[in-house]
């Protein structure tokens, strides 16, 4: 019987089967740089804003309506009032209601300062007051 020789095969090229994340991070940073360069940022200066318009609107119920015309005339539930008498009128209506809900209907030409002043009056009566601003759809 013949003896078989044992063949000694040695692998000369050892392959690393591990996964390297360095190429993945390179691709991630390249994508990040690409999107940062190609994205546009909104510049708020000089924008022509046509307010008040809204796609979403909800019917408000049990609210006190405060209107502000473009001439800065104030109306509480349809009655023309002086700005300084809004506080007393709201206090009187708040006594009859469990919570104070106010809907401000301001003309789009009215400065935001006037709306904020009315909101401050409402919040001075009750910190839990709900203030909504009417928009057109």
CATH assignment, 64-133: 3.30.420.270
Distance (Å, whole) CA 90 – CA 66: 10
**Of residues 97, 108, 115, 107, the one with CA closest to residue 61:** 97
Q: What pLDDT sits at residue 29?
A: 92
Distance (Å, whole) CA 128 – CA 98: 11
pTM of the entire predicted model: 0.54
Q: Return the beta strands (E) in 3-136 as ranges.
A: 64-68, 74-76, 79-81, 101-106, 130-133
Higher per-residue pLDDT: 129 or 51: 129
Domain range summary for the chain, segments of one domain joined by +: 64-133
Residue-wise pLDDT for 57-87, tens only, equals: 565 567 888 888 888 888 888 788 888 888 8
Distance (Å, whole) CA 75 – CA 82: 8
Confidence at 4, pLDDT banded by 50, 70, 90: low
């Amino acid at each position: 019987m013949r003896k078989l020789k044992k063949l000694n095969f040695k692998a000369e090229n050892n392959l690393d089967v591990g996964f390297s994340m360095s190429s993945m991070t390179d691709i991630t940073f390249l994508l990040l740089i690409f999107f940062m360069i190609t994205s546009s940022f909104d510049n708020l200066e000089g924008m022509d804003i046509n307010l008040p318009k809204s796609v979403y609107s909800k019917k408000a119920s049990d609210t006190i309506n405060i209107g502000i015309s473009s001439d800065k005339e104030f109306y509480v539930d349809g009655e023309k009032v002086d700005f300084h008498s809004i506080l007393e009128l709201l206090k009187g209506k708040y006594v009859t209601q469990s919570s104070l809900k106010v809907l401000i209907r301001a003309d789009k030409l009215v400065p935001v300062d006037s709306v904020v002043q009315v909101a401050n009056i409402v919040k001075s009566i009750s910190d839990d007051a709900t203030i909504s601003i009417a928009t057109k759809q």
